[in-house]
Chains A and B, each alone.
Chain A
Amino acid sequence: MSESTNGSKLLRILSVSARPARPNALHAVATFTWRSMRHTVSQLPYMAIDVLIFPVIFLLIFTYMFGGAISGSTGHYLQFLLPGMLVYTVTTMTVYIGIAIKTDIDKGVFNRFRTLPFWQPAAIIGTMLVNLLSYAAALATTIGIGLLLGFRPEAGLTGALLALLLVILYAFSVSWIFACIGVVVKKTESITSMTYIVLYPLMFTSNVFTDTSTMPDWLGRIVAYNPISLASTAARGLMHGTATAQDLIAALGGMILLTLAFAPLTFRLYLKKAKQ
């Protein structure tokens, strides 16, 4: 570094001693949304696997390989499967918020955040907001492919949009579980193994792929109270215009419970970590 030129530039920078006012919470959240968008854009090729390829492959496999066997006809099965498939797609993606939070904590950048005077939970909220966008993108692809394969929402556009909204809310509520795990877990890998231990059993004991009425009673009951089932049932109902108030209340109630339980807990644990 040539002292004369850069030294004087540096001195000029240091001569600005005015300190900006502490950023408000909204400004901080907007900043983290911006950051998360930057990250997402740079990771677009990997994201494409989740957002595009994964839903397509799953939809094709289930519809054409198992559809006939499960439901008698593939077209009939697709009508049943697709709303649940929406739930399935975003469920697998909710893990990312945990990984994102854990990665920040592990990398030194968390220490930098801790020394800055902003409202710390903004880091989680901003990331979460951008994740909601990628959920929406994955859902849009899944529906798009479904439409190409012959899926028709019986409740029309309104039904489809309401179902989408519900599934996004569902993903939002489940994300808090993983956000919380991301804050407390010791190793990033534990988050991924949590997926296998918690999510996959839940997913396969849900009514995403099959109708619960064909299952033995005891299993049917587990399946019915599984949050994934609750969301699938509600999404299916909205999509085809058959939703009962009870279905919707159960699904929304579950989501509200999850959010109320895990979001404050996540913030508390994160703040504790940041303040130490």
Chain B
Amino acid sequence: MTNKRYAIEVQGLTKSFGSVKVLKGIDLRVERGTVYAILGPNGAGKTTLVSILSTLLRPDAGKAEVFGLDVVRDADAVRGIVGLTGQFAAVDEGLSGHDNLELFGRLTGYGRKAAYARADELLDAFELTEAANRPAAQYSGGMRRRLDIAAAMLVRPELLFLDEPTTGLDPRSRSGVWDIVRTLVAGGTTVLLTTQYLEEADQLADRLAVIDGGTVIAEGTAAELKALVGSGTVQIRLARPELRSLAEQVLRRELNAEVRLHADPATLSAQASDPEPAARVLTELSRAGIATTQFSLGQPSLDEVFLALTGRPAEEAAEEAVS
């Protein structure tokens, strides 16, 4: 197990629910000791993939191995070395945070005293000591998420799955979770996380895969992916919506890129390969007498990645997955 290069190896993995094909042949390799992100819109099959890898679901066909152990044949052994923090918190809402960790600790094999002490330690490290004796049902989203991650840390997992660990969290809680992930990796754990935010993948992941409609449509480092998409996006909100077509011309000329007109009639965006031309846009706009109320140069959103990779926005992909 320790000499394996890959924490995860997946080949031709498929899974259907009834007649709905959710995974249509996924190939994936995750090197041990790294963070790997699965990026995809709603309904792409992220949770299904994580559930199969963490032995909660059986695949229909294909191979999935965790440190060389088959997730179906060696399910028990796999359960012994992976930790899972699912998309929806897997905690007992009727129990306090401390009781939750104590419960899971005892079910992991700790004796009463050891489980109690371990729960104390984990609550301390995850900043939940103050809420230790409150029912988990009263926890905020961020607290529940931390409790859920703590529950996956009762023994150090070789591989940790985090399914959308920061969806619905405020920026502070989000960066808290990011810090936890970085610490885990520093401690030697391999992390596979799913997310809908390219920024998150960029912040944390060594490599990432974009999945859509049950297949991997792009794979690589965040830098590679961004190069594919264009490193950033200029988004502009105009003071006067009627000037948008004028602004569109300026953007197209300066950035030499396709301009997106948003649903909001005052907003438009375009990809920018470098900050300089983006800055030039601002000067050119004011020279043309077009006032802006907002100007941002941001990372490409999942939406833009999608647009670049598939030619259609992520919401559409999500709708297709549902239908």
Contacts and interface: CB of A to CB of B under 8 A. Distances in A.
Nearest to A119: B107
- Count chain B CB atoms within 10 A of each CB in A13, A34, A118 and give the residue with the most: A13
Nearest to B158: A17
B155 A20 contact: yes
B153 interface: yes
B107 A28 contact: yes
A45 interface: no
Nearest to B93: A107
A13 B104 contact: no
Contacts of A42: 94, 135
Contacts of B58: 276
B88 A19 contact: no
Interface residues of B, number: 52
Contacts of B122: 13
B114 A116 contact: no
Contacts of B218: none
Interface string B179-192: 11001101111000
Contacts of B121: 9, 12-13
Contacts of B56: 111, 114-115, 276
B84 A111 contact: yes
Given A15-B187, A38-B95, A115-B84, A20 B110 contact: yes
Contacts of B82: 115
B312 interface: no
B187 A108 contact: no
B279 to A, nearest CB: 33
A71 to B, nearest CB: 44
Contact of B156 (A14, A110, A275): A14
B314 to A, nearest CB: 26
Interface stretch (B5-13, B73-81, B228-236, B295-303): B73-81
Interface string B158-196: 000000000000000001100110011011110000000
A31 B109 CA distance: 10
A10 B187 contact: yes
Interface string B86-118: 101111111100010001101111110010000
Interface in A3-61: 3, 6-7, 9-23, 27-28, 31, 34-35, 38-39, 42-43
B75 A275 contact: yes
Contacts of A15: 156, 187
B124 A276 contact: no
A66 interface: no
A27 B111 CA distance: 8
Interface in A80-117: 107-117
A110 B90 CA distance: 7
Contact of A13 (B93, B125, B188): B125
A146 B184 CA distance: 62
A1 interface: yes
Interface string A199-242: 00000000000000000000000000000000000000000000
A246 B151 CA distance: 54
B155 A109 contact: no
A23 B179 contact: no
A9 B124 contact: yes
Nearest to B135: A42
B109 A117 contact: yes
A117 B90 contact: no
18 contacts: A1-B127, A6-B125, A13-B156, A14-B153, A23-B106, A31-B103, A31-B107, A35-B99, A42-B135, A107-B92, A108-B88, A115-B56, A115-B84, A116-B104, A117-B80, A117-B109, A118-B108, A276-B57
Given A42-B94, A107-B93, 7 more contacts: A1-B179, A21-B109, A38-B95, A39-B95, A112-B151, A113-B107, A118-B109
Interface of A: 1, 3, 6-7, 9-23, 27-28, 31, 34-35, 38-39, 42-43, 107-118, 275-276
